[in-house]
Structure 1
Amino acid sequence: MQAANNVWVVDDDKSIRWVLEKALSRSGIDVDVFEDGESVLQRLESSTPDVVISDLRMPGIDGLQVLEKILLNHPKLPVIITTAHADLDNAVSSYQSGAFEYLPKPFDIDDAVAMTQRALAAATENLGGSSGTDTSVQTEMIGRAPAMQEVFRAIGRLSHSNINVLINGESGTGKELVAKALHKHSPRREQPFIALNMAAIPRDLVESELFGHEKGAFTGAGQQRVGRFEQASGGTLFLDEIGDMPPEIQTRLLRVLADGEFYRVGGHTSVKVDVRVVAATHQDLETLVKKNLFREDLFHRLNVIRLQLPSLADRSEDIPQLALHFLQQCGEELGVETKILSPEVVEYFSGLPWPGNVRQLENVCRWLTVMAAGTEIHLDALPPQLREEKDRSLNTAQGAWDDMLQSWAKRELQGGEKRILDVALPIFEKTMINAALQQTGGR
């Protein structure tokens, strides 16, 4: 079998075409470049590449239209969609339309080359993406940070699937929002989405909440009750804080996941359901398994696909856009003028630790909408606890950094190193340069 090696690059940005052509050519790949969708479709009438890399938004025929027309006649041809408008809807639409991969801009050139090589390998094995149906579902998920782009990609890849998903993330990172997005971009989108927080239900009511009960099953059970599994039949059941589920309920859940049926509390007739389970937790389930607090077999049932949500501090580049969204939302809800963050407040927000993550940012924006005077928010209008939080964070970070540096210096001196400053300076420079490159997207 001859290896696939010809790639077509379609982008109205000349610099992107140039960069990709040079990088791919250096890797031994034959490259042809096109500045618009019309020209690549015209060329496709007389020849066929092994892989196409297409920008999403271009004048005239856009990337999704190019993708649709390519897959109509070449359903196994891998197409990589690139875009500077890297939101969830674009990611999902790309995957659902049959894209092989989705590459947000600005991209790391090594990642682009590696992705292209994977696509060429798939073309060689005749294993390209399959066509699908474009779906546009508005969500409130916002994020250009690389970690959030990975989440968007995963949601896109899962858009044709009914597979169970486990979401990990700190409190306030948006686990339920991701679960809703998984549902809205799935084959079950027209069916119910039912959510249940395991940590918010009294232990003795969990079984009835999940599986329902028959009349007279226990004191106070005056009538039959349908549980969350039956309510979600055909759709998605979101089990938040799954790590707090009692052990005896874990056993029942395992059986439902394995067999698709259960008995209501006090019932003698099995109930069959077709439910996709999306579970979430802020806890380390592996540790709970080791401590015998969570069933290992249930963990493996749930942990088919795992999504890790970043903390807000780890996606600080998203804070300005998130804050703008929340301020606009709060203004609309309360019927007042939308507040605007001054540049110094935006910078200040980007440096906060945000232990409550996105939920904390949303609550702060609500507070500012109600309590702050004027339209533009300045530092002196922020809640006092928010200013104190920054001070505590800086003191903690400074202390930790000082301690680590002191420990390193002692180890070097004890090991016989006399010129520790000469050793340290290149390390500092490299660290600062890498941080600057990450912050600016390599620009």
Structure 2
Amino acid sequence: MPEPPIWIVDDEAGVRFVLATALREAGWRVEAFGSAREALAAFDAAPVAPALLFTDVRMPGDDGLVLLEKLKQRRPELPVVVMSAYTDVASTAGAFRAGAHEFLSKPFDLDDAVALAARVLGPSAPAAPADAPVSQDAADTLLGQSPAMRELFRAIGRLAQAPLSVLITGETGTGKELVARALHRESPRASRPFVALNTAAIPAELLESELFGHEAGAFTGATRRHPGRFEQAHGGTLFLDEIGDMPLALQTRLLRVLQQGEFFRVGGRELIRVDVRVVAATHQDLEARVAAGQFRADLLHRLDVVRLRLPALRERREDLPLLAAHFLARAAQRFGAREKRLDREALERLRAHDWPGNVRELENLCWRLAALAPGERVGRADVEAALGPAVQAPGGAAESAGDVHDARIGAAVRDAAPAADAANWEDALAAYAREALAGDVRDLHARIVARVDRVLLEAALERTGGRRAQAAALLGLGRNTLTRKLGRRG
């Protein structure tokens, strides 16, 4: 039997989303409803009654006090928290007279709401067993308690219900796809598909087919009809990441689809009509690209009906403990191991880092810590080792010695054995590592990681004839990540 959830009843989508997000981050399951009628119908049909219910007072139809009275008739012991922007004596007295457990004045502090739930239900929800799989909801959850993130949550809650195009901006690694998924999940389209496409990761000559599909025989290798992403997303949401990299010719076709809701497959004559909400994202300055003639101004206006900016991680350092704990917990579940925790000095080191890779960089760091840190308590030295020093050597004799070691690392990875026999190259690399450690080689971890990156990048670029977008796709990287790594090759 699942643990009883917390229910939220409020006709304001923004309030539902923000409060539900805060309570989920604290560990509880949450269900939300937009009216008293929906909540009562769900209450009568639910196999598990809620453990706690938050309700607004002023809503269309039955208000929160009517809902409170009806719920108390069904289950007198149910704790109900009444929320209202109207805090006059009559409102508060009426709530408590009807059996409210507590009264929250809007706007309220989310920490106060979470603390109130903890007082009613206990400090946290029961932890999942160590071998429980990480749910997709947990993996896709936007986390943050900083003012910038709370404002973002409110905006998502408001925008989710409106059938408007949204442009999400922010640096690489800030979580733009998570915002797009949240917009879809909280929208009336939630039961329909969410389809994502990174336009920078698809070669330009294939991108048109990926978006709009193709007919059999449309080009060499097209042996059968292929529905594109627009068709796949019909009725739902299409997320176009790195929209700034889309070729101009395709921008024209995309604009026509956004305006008319119809298109032809590549090589086709059948007019395809779709109902799709488009959410786009970019890390680039699209206005500058418009000025440079690289992006259509009319397409930008069509996509940029509403703009959401994601803050960089360095702009919300107060969220680092929450994010790190979340990623370490996910890693522990994946590894089937006990969860590791950061001590105070480790957290201070995280706060001092500039985070050029943002949340994605932090997530990767936490996976390395979960795998490599020797104890369950992660200290500053563990974080320093996982972050690693700069890839470039300082120069002079040390640089020459480093080059020798890098070459030997590369040889261990590249020349040991065929890829089909992974144990052979791992043995060669392990032998080198033991020898280097015995010789007191410094910065070994950073050197090995950098050299392995170099070998993989060179192999992928060789395979794709130097085409970076294809190489990135082969390696499972974003093109910007690959470009950044190429810049470090030296």
**TM-score of Structure 1 vs Structure 2, range by shorter chain:** 0.5 to 0.7
Question: Is 1:341 the counterpart of 2:309 in the alignment?
Answer: no
- Cα distance between partner residues in 2 of 1:69 and 1:188: 22
Which secondary structure does the structure 2 equivalent of 1:213 belong to? coil
Q: Tell me if structure 1 keeps the 8 A contact 2:244–2:284.
A: yes
Q: Tell me if structure 1 keeps the 8 A contact 2:349–2:383.
A: no
What amino acid maps onto 1:260 in structure 2? G
In structure 2, the partner of 1:144 is 145
In structure 2, the partner of 1:302 is 303
Q: Tell me if structure 1 keeps the 8 A contact 2:55–2:64.
A: no
Q: 1:66 aligns with which of 51, 57, 66?
A: 57
What amino acid maps onto 1:319 in structure 2? L
In structure 2, the partner of 1:209 is 210
Within a 5 Å distance, the mapping from 1:274-285 to structure 2 comes to 274-285=275-286
In structure 2, the partner of 1:88 is none
- Cα distance between partner residues in 2 of 1:79 and 1:291: 50
Which secondary structure does the structure 2 equivalent of 1:214 belong to? coil
Q: Tell me if structure 2 keeps the 8 A contact 1:213–1:267.
A: yes
Q: Tell me if structure 1 keeps the 8 A contact 2:148–2:316.
A: yes
Q: Tell me if structure 2 keeps the 8 A contact 1:215–1:221.
A: yes
What amino acid maps onto 1:64 in structure 2? T
Inter-CA distance 293–146: structure 2 relative to 1 (3 Å threshold): same
In structure 2, the partner of 1:195 is 196
Residue deviations 1:281-337 (CA, integer Å, cap 9, x gap)? 000101000001000000000000100000000000000000000000100011011
- Cα distance between partner residues in 2 of 1:249 and 1:241: 14
Q: CA offset at residue 382 of structure 1?
A: 2.3
Q: CA offset at residue 386 of structure 1?
A: 2.3
Q: Tell me if structure 2 keeps the 8 A contact 1:81–1:103.
A: no
Inter-CA distance 235–370: structure 2 relative to 1 (3 Å threshold): same
Residue deviations 1:47-76 (CA, integer Å, cap 9, x gap)? xxxxxxxxxxxxx986525355996389xx
Question: Is 1:323 the counterpart of 2:324 in the alignment?
Answer: yes
What amino acid maps onto 1:154 in structure 2? A
What amino acid maps onto 2:252 in structure 1? T
- Cα distance between partner residues in 2 of 1:63 and 1:233: 35
- Cα distance between partner residues in 2 of 1:363 and 1:198: 23
Q: Tell me if structure 2 keeps the 8 A contact 1:164–1:278.
A: yes
Question: Is 1:351 the counterpart of 2:359 in the alignment?
Answer: no
In structure 2, the partner of 1:268 is 269
In structure 1, the partner of 2:25 is none
How many residue pairs match? The answer is 283
Q: CA offset at residue 104 of structure 1?
A: 3.9
In structure 2, the partner of 1:287 is 288
- Cα distance between partner residues in 2 of 1:360 and 1:61: 37
In structure 1, the partner of 2:380 is 379
Residue deviations 1:141-176 (CA, integer Å, cap 9, x gap)? 111111111110111101321211000010000000
Q: Tell me if structure 2 keeps the 8 A contact 1:104–1:149.
A: no
Inter-CA distance 366–274: structure 2 relative to 1 (3 Å threshold): same
Q: Could you tell me the TM-score, scaled by structure 1's length?
A: 0.60
Q: Tell me if structure 2 keeps the 8 A contact 1:102–1:153.
A: no
Within a 5 Å distance, the mapping from 1:35-434 to structure 2 comes to 63-68=54-59, 72=63, 80=85, 104=109, 140-384=141-385, 386=387, 388=389
Q: Tell me if structure 2 keeps the 8 A contact 1:162–1:187.
A: no
Q: CA offset at residue 273 of structure 1?
A: 0.2
What amino acid maps onto 1:324 in structure 2? A
Q: Could you tell me the TM-score, scaled by structure 2's length?
A: 0.54
In structure 1, the partner of 2:13 is none
In structure 2, the partner of 1:29 is none
Inter-CA distance 73–369: structure 2 relative to 1 (3 Å threshold): closer
Q: Tell me if structure 1 keeps the 8 A contact 2:218–2:266.
A: yes
In structure 1, the partner of 2:413 is none
- Cα distance between partner residues in 1 of 2:273 and 2:60: 42
Inter-CA distance 243–71: structure 2 relative to 1 (3 Å threshold): farther
Runs of 4+ with deviation above 6 angstroms: none
What amino acid maps onto 2:55 in structure 1? L
- Cα distance between partner residues in 1 of 2:243 and 2:86: 36
Percent identity between matched residues is 52
Q: Tell me if structure 2 keeps the 8 A contact 1:63–1:81.
A: no
The worse-fitting range, judged by mean Cα deviation, of 264-273 and 343-352 is: 343-352
